[in-house]
Amino acid sequence: MKLLITGGAGFIGSNFIRYWLKNHPADNIINLDKLTYAGNLENLKEIEDNPKYKFVKGDICDGNLVNELIKEVDIVVHFAAESHVDRSIIDSQIFLKTNVIGTQILLDAALKNQVKHFHHVSTDEVFGSLALDDKTKWNECTPYDPKSPYSASKAASDHLVRAYGNTFGLKYTITNCSNNFGPYQFPEKLIPLAITNLMEGKKVPIYGDGKYVRDWLYVDDHCKAIDLVLQKGKAGETYCIGGMTDDINNLEIARMILKILGKHETEIDFVKDRPGHDRKYAVDWSKAKKELGFKPEYDFSSYLEMTIKWYRDNKEWWQKIKSGEYKKYYQLQYGKAQIR
């Protein structure tokens, strides 16, 4: 089997490529990635010489390139996206271009070349936001209600994928997954930002009152879920994927990280809230459990510790990121108060 992975130099994509080559060593992978600020070939150092792996630097919006690459493959797993909510609030244009137009270009090429399976990696954020006291969990029938430019662009891409299935018969599947954490996550997202800031002697910026809830999943569980969808998923189906955390909020996560690193609560900095901040996410993954046999394997607290250990052991990886372009973004997002 030959797979085209888009966005394979990012956080989840690079974990997925490592996972796939380990678990399906006979398969070939082409990784198409533009290497935006979030794409990093260091994430794939371990496998860069694997003869089953090929990297192509390029944009999913480049129709000719995408068409040539898709000719060679059986399966597309589409991760490439602009993925950070805060950046979509600063400027949403590239989100529309990559997440919507880029997906449409891939879909056209997949259709033209009769790809056997197009898997679209999406997010639970398309469902909007729950109240803190709401016990509802989102499932595959929940209506879309995206609230940020990022989630609106991902919702648009999901609709396009389904439209290509309905109108042209494209064989697709979609996963809507909750918040991932683990190694190689870019240090703009809450968990790696908190860990690396504390390791640098800086504070953890917590938006608003910190009582915002996410449904955390260790990245390998997400990779395994996609694998199960590729093996057992039905064309035209969507699968919600989530974790096992029980309504844990950002403040509690920050405290867990502080404790593991032996730091005091005074290292938490309450900063201006994210505009339109979604209060709570919760995912019902029972369809994936029933139909695919999916169940998260990795519990939050042990794998948070493992993740902290990874950032401790891989300081060079994140220090390089944080010393470059990132500084400008940090200044723009958090202002002078955060830079000590």
Q: Which residues are identified as catalytic?
A: 124-125, 150
With contacts defined by CB under 6 A, name the span among 34-42, 98-106, 189-197, 223-231 that binds ligand DAU.
Answer: 189-197
Q: How far apart are CA 326 and CA 268, in angstroms?
A: 21
Identified binder of ligand DAU from the candidate list 164, 184, 212, 285, rule CB under 6 A: 212
How far is residue 6's CA from residue 81's CA, in Å, rounded to a whole number?
9
| Min CB(165)–ligand DAU separation in Å | 22
Q: Which of 33, 59, 125, 158 binds ligand DAU (CB under 6 A)?
A: 125
Comparing CB distances to ligand DAU, the nearer of 12 and 44 is 12
Determine the Cα–Cα distance for residues 76 and 69; give it in Å rounded to an integer: 10
Alpha-carbon span 249 to 259, nearest angstrom:
16
**What's the length of the chain?**
340
Look at residue 29 and give the partner it binds from ligand NAD, ligand DAU, none, a contact being a CB closer than 5 to 8 Å depending on partner kind: none
Quick one: which of 15, 31, 83, 157 contacts ligand DAU (CB under 6 A)? Answer: 83
Helices assigned H by DSSP within the chain? 11-23, 63-71, 85-90, 93-95, 103-112, 149-168, 190-199, 219-232, 250-260, 286-292, 300-313, 315-323, 326-334
Shortest CB 146 distance to ligand NAD, Å: 12
Interacting partner of 34 out of ligand NAD, ligand DAU, none (Cβ under 5 to 8 A depending on kind): ligand NAD
98 binds ligand DAU (CB under 6 A): no
Q: Which of 15, 175, 250, 307 binds ligand DAU (CB under 6 A)?
A: 250
Helix (H, G, I), strand (E, B) or coil at 88: helix
- Report, in Å, the least distance between residue 194 CB and ligand DAU: 8
Contact 191, 11 (CB under 8 A): no
**3-class DSSP state for residue 72?**
coil
Residue numbers at the binding site for ligand NAD (CB under 6 A) = 6-7, 9-13, 32-36, 38-39, 59-61, 79-83, 98, 102, 121, 123, 154, 177, 179-180, 186
Nearest to ligand NAD of 85, 263 (CB atom)? 85
- The least CB distance from residue 162 to ligand NAD, in Å, is 16
| 206 sits near ligand DAU (criterion: CB under 6 A) | yes
Helix (H, G, I), strand (E, B) or coil at 251: helix
Alpha-carbon dihedral of residues 188, 190, 195, 201, nearest 10 degrees?
A: 70
3-state secondary structure of 123: strand
| DSSP code at position 237 | E
Pick what 238 binds: ligand DAU, ligand NAD, none; C-beta below 5 to 8 Å, kind-dependent. Answer: none
Considering only 207, 248, 286, 322, the residue that binds ligand DAU (CB under 6 A) is 207
In the chain, the amino acid numbered 64 is N
Residue 116 dihedral angles phi and psi, to the nearest 5°: -70, -35
Residue numbers of the site for ligand DAU (CB under 6 A)? 83-85, 123-125, 178-179, 189-190, 193, 205-207, 212, 214, 250, 274, 281
